[in-house]
Amino acid sequence: IKGEILKPSPLFADTFRYFFMRFRKEESIRKWFLKKAGENSLAFSYPESFKHFKKTLIFLPETKELALPYLENFKKCWSKENVLFVARDSLREVLIHHPLAKALFLTEKEFRFGEPAFENIEKQISEFNPDFCIYLAAPFLPALYLAKRSSAPCRVGFQCESLYPFLNISLQVSSEPEKISLLQKQYGVQNANQ
């Protein structure tokens, strides 16, 4: 395109292997991630899937202020055995001292497709083999790829219709307290402060 300066996508590792991927258009990159994650999805029953979950993969929001309410309100239904968090490295201090401290951390640089740390996280998520995925983070293709690649049949986000099929259930609330309340109902949590 004449006169237009192409900027490399920050979604891929700075290696020759992904050099050309870094200069593709946004829609082309989205299709590539989807193809790479696999286009088929298992059937599930909603909302029954929430109530009988075994293992849950949770992509936490990027900031401590947004992540803490979820961690505090779900102590009774999430445990080290049944939940695995994927979080930015900035949440490491919060999660290290939290009773639900089973988490995978990625720095800004590592959260790019093709980075060795990213591939390691993908492998650990696959080994965890979640039944359910809750996506609380901002839309970010490498993270959405991991959610889809997790093979969890039920992948929930909020107001995320445009992210289908990476996430296949879109709940329609916008504020953090409403999100927490809706998830509590789905999990059968009567009162998180008991």
| pLDDT value, residue 180 | 87
Q: Give me the chain's average pLDDT, please.
A: 84
Rounded to 5°, angle at Cα 146 from 142 and 152: 150
H helical segments located in 64-106? 64-73, 92-96
Cβ–Cβ under 8 Å, residues 10 and 24: no
Q: Closest Cα partner for 140 from 91, 106, 169, 179?
A: 106
Which of 30-44, 131-145, 150-164 is predicted least confidently? 30-44
Who wins on pLDDT, 153 or 125? 125
Q: d(Cα 77, Cα 57) in Å, to the nearest integer? A: 13
Cβ-count burial of 1 within 10 angstroms (0-12 exposed, 13-18 middle, 19+ buried)?
A: exposed
Per-residue pLDDT, averaged over 85-110, amounts to 87
In the chain, what percentage of residues exceed pLDDT 70? 85
Give the pLDDT of residue 39.
66
Over residues 7-60, the pLDDT tens digits come to: 888 888 888 888 888 888 888 888 888 888 876 655 555 555 455 567 899 999
- Position 193 scores a pLDDT of 46
Predicted local confidence at residue 192, as pLDDT: 42
- Asked if 186 contacts 56 with a C-beta cutoff of 8 angstroms, the reply is no
Backbone torsions φ then ψ of 159, nearest 5 degrees: 45, 55
pLDDT mean over 88-100: 85
Of 27, 22, 29, residue with least CA distance to 7:
22
